[in-house]
Amino acid sequence: MKAIVAVKRVVDYNVKVRVKADGSGVDAANAKMSMNPFDEIAVEEAVRLKEAGIVSEVIAVSIGAAPCQDTLRTALAVGADRAILVETGAEIQPLGAAKLLRALCERESPRIVLTGKQAIDDDANQTGQMLAALMGWPQATFASRLAIDGDVATVEREIDGGVETVEMRLPAVVTADLRLNQPRYATLPNIMRARKKPLETVTPEALGVDVSPRLEILKVSEPPRRAAGIRVADVAELAARLRDAEGVA
Amino acid sequence: MSCLILAEHDNSTLHPVTAHVVAAARRIGGEIHLLVAGDGCRRVAEQAATLDGVAGVWLADAARYADQTPESVAELVAARMAPHSHGLAAATAAGKSVMPRVAALLDVAQISDLVGVESGDTFVRPIYAGSALATVRSSDAKKIITVRATAFAAAGTNSAPAPIESLAVPDAPGKSRVVSRRLNRSARPELDAARVVVSGGRGLGSAENFHALLEPLADRLGAAIGASRAAVDAGFVSNDLQVGQTGKIVAPRLYIAAGLSGAIQHVAGMKDSQVIVAINKDPEAPIFQIADYGLVADLFDAIPALTAALGRTGDGGRNP
């Protein structure tokens, strides 16, 4: 069975983003870009399913401008077999991304779609669930363990207050949480090999998908800053402050 | 305008986050209806009916909703949205699983983690782990929203409960099945509802230290326990205690951060706390930049001393 794994190119996890002075967005012009960390985990899981003989082919998909090819090459270097870039300069929101992925699912007929539970730029946490709904498939979000036996996926999910185990019949969408696995690093020979793997480019228009944004970003602003606090000298002073100034007994 | 709110519950008790979602809906305006989907959950509907500002409660009480799987609940919510302009749920694991499906079924966008309401179509939400706030305007006929509970003070209760109306529920096989739920039971307050949170990081060094140092302090303060991602990854505590961008978002009266550096991703989950105390032996730790009170000290001395100092006050000071 085929697996599709959806990966997004985002401002690197370690970059502290700044809001542009004109309030039009964040300044990501020269920022280091990387694969969304949750998507790295999704790629790793898909590759492990292939290594376990459960999945026959891993197809990495990314949506965005030409530099997203780098993100796809990273996925290929850790073990994806081929890649599809849906190339567009337009702003793509989760519903648009889910519709593009639906078009590719209809073309490729994967039995499972893996992706990160959220992207660390817009923090939306929507695309996997939207794709599942559009396909009429079951979903397991926040996955911390995935086992596939025949046509049934058993997934442990991180929920508020604990862990839930769900069973669902494939095809299905699984979104990766932090503890699903520890992604491997791409080795130099594999990075070289990845350059020769197939990378196809399509467009939203060619897929017949309307990706018009539904949300207009009017303004991006800095959150209110906390006023600077004070350093206390010792535990006694801290306890006194909490008691007297804050009313904490 | 009118709002439909998906109630969060475990078939017996309405979760407190729902009262915060009602507060957000009141900011949007219009009539507010709650939808309670579950199995044997009439009591939840009765609790929901007492929330201030609620005009009515729809009760979908059927075996197929026993586990509230997102596939079945999303279909129900989408079908019930016909007369409503806004559909809301809490931005919890459950709400985040259901509402994007609802939005996709209705072919509309979803607005995640609402923290501010400007008007019926313009909303504020955090992006980049809360490093920025985006004000967005929806052009869709229906707005589907998850609400960050900490951004809205909970709605109160009303002595005249709203009417409850039962919905006829068609029977249909579910797309997924919950095999088990393993909840970590604790006598402590729930992390996202606690007045005081004591959180630990990698600086505690081990699971044993984490519990031995932080539990007595949490006991003393009636606090919930939280943790940084590093502490969870190191296996000190279970994942459901993680505070941060991808864990719980908390805003207690007092947040004590012990032995955690204050990574952006952690700060995203606690920076709206009223009072933040940071205890760390590294004076350069970024957590001090957002702390109201910072103490540079060795945790292994400071935490037991603080526990003892606060204890003496509690025993002998105010309540002789």
Per-residue pLDDT at B184: 81
Please indicate, yes or no, whether residues B248 and B291 belong to a single structural domain of this protein: yes
Give B137's DSSP letter. E
Chains A and B form CB pairs within 8 A to the count of 258
Rg of chain A over Cα atoms, rounded to whole angstroms, equals: 21
Question: Which pLDDT score is estimated for B192?
Answer: 82
The answer to whether residue B318 sits within a structural domain is: no
Nearest to A142 by CA among B95, B204, B150, B61: B95
Clarify whether residues B15 and B156 are in a common domain.
Answer: yes
Q: Do B309 and A236 touch (CB under 8 A)?
A: yes
Cβ neighbours of B179 in A, within 8 Å: 154, 165-167
Between CA A204 and CA A213, with CA A210 as vertex, the angle to 5 degrees is: 105
Measured over the CA atoms of residue B152, residue B69, residue A169 and residue B168, the dihedral's sign is: negative
Is B208 part of any domain?
yes
Q: Do B128 and A26 touch (CB under 8 A)?
A: yes
Number of domains in chain B: 2
For residue B176, is it within any domain?
A: no
Superfamily of domain A2-221 in CATH is: HUPs (3.40.50.620)
Contacts of A98 in chain B (CB under 8 A): 104
Examine residue B172 and state whether it is found in any structural domain, yes or no.
no
Give just the sign of the alpha carbon dihedral B201, B204, B205, B211. Answer: negative
Q: How confident is the model at residue A66 (pLDDT cuts 50, 70, 90)?
A: very high
> With an 8 Å Cβ cutoff, are B130 and A157 in contact?
no
Is A19 in Cβ contact with B246 (below 8 Å)? Answer: no
A17 contacts B128? CB cut-off 8 A? yes
Distance CA A119, CA B226 (A): 23
A139:B71 CB<8 A = yes
Choosing among A93, A99, A100, A129, which should be mutated to test the B contact, i.e. which has the most B CBs within 10 A? A129
Question: Cβ–Cβ of A160/B318 closer than 8 Å?
Answer: no
- We report the CATH number of the domain holding residue B236 as 3.40.50.1220
Find the CB nearest A238 among B129, B306, B317: B306
**Alpha helices in chain B, H assignment, sequence order:** 17-28, 42-49, 70-80, 93-106, 207-221, 229-233, 264-267, 299-312
Structure tokens at B99: 């509402």
Return the pLDDT at A225. Answer: 85
Confidence at residue B106, expressed as pLDDT on a 0 to 100 scale: 98
Please indicate, yes or no, if residue B317 is contained in any of the structural domains: no
B155 and B48, same domain (yes or no): yes
> pLDDT at position B185, please?
78
Same domain for B146 and B25: yes
> Which candidate from B127, B180, B196 shows the least CB-CB separation from A122?
B127
Residue B221 and residue B86 in one domain: no
CB A98 within 8 A of CB A43: no
Q: How many CB atoms lie within 10 A of CB B111?
A: 26
- Whether residues B138 and B213 share a domain: the answer is no
Q: Report d(CA A45, CA B146) in Å as an integer.
A: 28
On whether both B161 and B205 belong to a single domain, the answer is no
Q: In sequence order, which ranges of B152-199 are alpha helices (DSSP H)?
A: none
Residues of chain B with pLDDT under 50: 313-320
Closest CA to B125 of A8, A121, A165: A121
Q: Give contacts of B293 with chain A, Cβ < 8 Å.
A: 229-232, 238, 241-242
In this complex, the residue of B99, B192, B295 whose CB is nearest that of residue A238 is B295
At A97-145, the pLDDT tens digits run: 999 999 999 999 999 999 999 999 999 999 999 999 999 999 999 999 9
Neighbours of B94 (CB within 10 A): 24
Q: Which chain A residue lies closest to B181 (C-alpha atoms)?
A: A164
**In percent, how much of chain A has pLDDT > 90?**
90
Contact A160 B97 (CB under 8 A): no
Is B184 inside any structural domain? no
Of B40, B36, B30, which Cα lies nearest the Cα of B48? B36
d(CA B236, CA B290): 25
| Entry pTM | 0.93
* Domain extents in chain A: 2-221
Contact B310 A16 (CB under 8 A): no
Residues of B in contact with A134 (CB under 8 A): 104
Residues whose CB falls within 8 Å of the CB of residue A187, separated by 6 or more in sequence, listed in order: A77
- Residue pair B3/B87 in contact (Cβ under 8 Å)? The answer is yes
B159 and B195 share one domain: no
Q: What CATH number is attached to the domain comprising B36? A: 3.40.50.620
User: Which pLDDT does position B312 carry in this prediction?
Assistant: 54
Residue at a domain's end among B150, B166, B182: B166
Q: Are residue B239 and residue B115 in the same domain, yes or no?
A: no
Closest Cα of chain A to B159: distance in Å? 30
Q: Say yes or no: B12 and B150 in one domain.
A: yes
Range A181-190 average pLDDT: 95
Q: Is residue B186 assigned to a domain?
A: no
Q: Is residue B178 part of a domain?
A: no
- pLDDT, position B60: 97
Residue B195's domain comprises 191-311
pLDDT bucket at A249, cuts 50 / 70 / 90: low
Residues B35 and B73 in one domain: yes
ipTM of the complex, rounded to two decimals: 0.95
Residues 6+ apart with CB under 8 A from A119: A8, A10, A36, A38, A39, A127
* Residues on chain A touching B184 (C-beta within 8 angstroms): 161-162
Residues B222 and B128 in one domain: no
Q: Which residue from B minimizes the CA distance to A14?
A: B264
